[in-house]
Amino acid sequence: MFEIHREPIDVAKVVAAVAHPAAGAVTTFLGTTRDNNEGRQVTLLEYEAYPEMAIAEMRRIGDTARQRWPIQEIAIAHRVGIVPIGEASVVIAVSSAHRAAAFEACRFAIDRLKEVVPIWKKEHFDGGEVWIGSQVGDVFPGGETEPRK
């Protein structure tokens, strides 16, 4: 399951999507809206996606995870639009026979998602709003000034 929608993400549904009788471990990651960032009081986050490409990139992350770790299933759900404080913008679930693979693949999936999946975050804070990563003078998150492949 790789999906993008505007509704709140149902964690139980993402977990159910990776259920497998041979799985002894399921790990999940939820990215939630924090009430503060770099000293600013955040009021809400707003996400925008290039949905067709984002789904394709999420699917590619799943394929890479399956190649690198002996996992059973992986699912990624991303919410777009307004995500209030405390709610989840992204939920990833991974199942595997033993827990090491599920932990490592889940960590890989969120790290990679934040690097390559075309989804953008606008932070609304007391006194303004900003597209994270697009402030003037910013370069790529890793510090590169060249476009990523």
Residues of this chain that interact with other proteins (CB under 8 A) are 24, 31, 47-48, 50, 52-53, 56, 98-100, 114-122, 131-134, 136-141, 145, 147-149
| Contact partner at residue 50 from other proteins, a second copy, none, CB < 5 to 8 Å by partner kind | other proteins
Q: Please, what is the minimum distance in Å from the beta carbon of residue 123 to a second copy?
A: 12
Strand partners, 120: 48
Distance between CA atoms of residues 99 and 103, nearest Å? 6
Helix, coil or strand: residue 94 = strand
Binding site for a second copy (CB under 8 A): 11-12, 15, 19-36, 85-86, 88, 95, 97, 99, 102-103, 106-107, 110
Contact 97, 72 (CB under 8 A): yes
Helix, coil or strand: residue 45 = strand
Q: Please, what is the minimum distance in Å from the beta carbon of residue 109 to a second copy?
A: 11
Q: Please, what is the minimum distance in Å from the beta carbon of residue 106 to a second copy?
A: 8
Contact 122, 87 (CB under 8 A): no
Number of Cβ atoms within 10 Å of the Cβ of 52: 10
| Contact partner at residue 124 from a second copy, other proteins, none, CB < 5 to 8 Å by partner kind | none
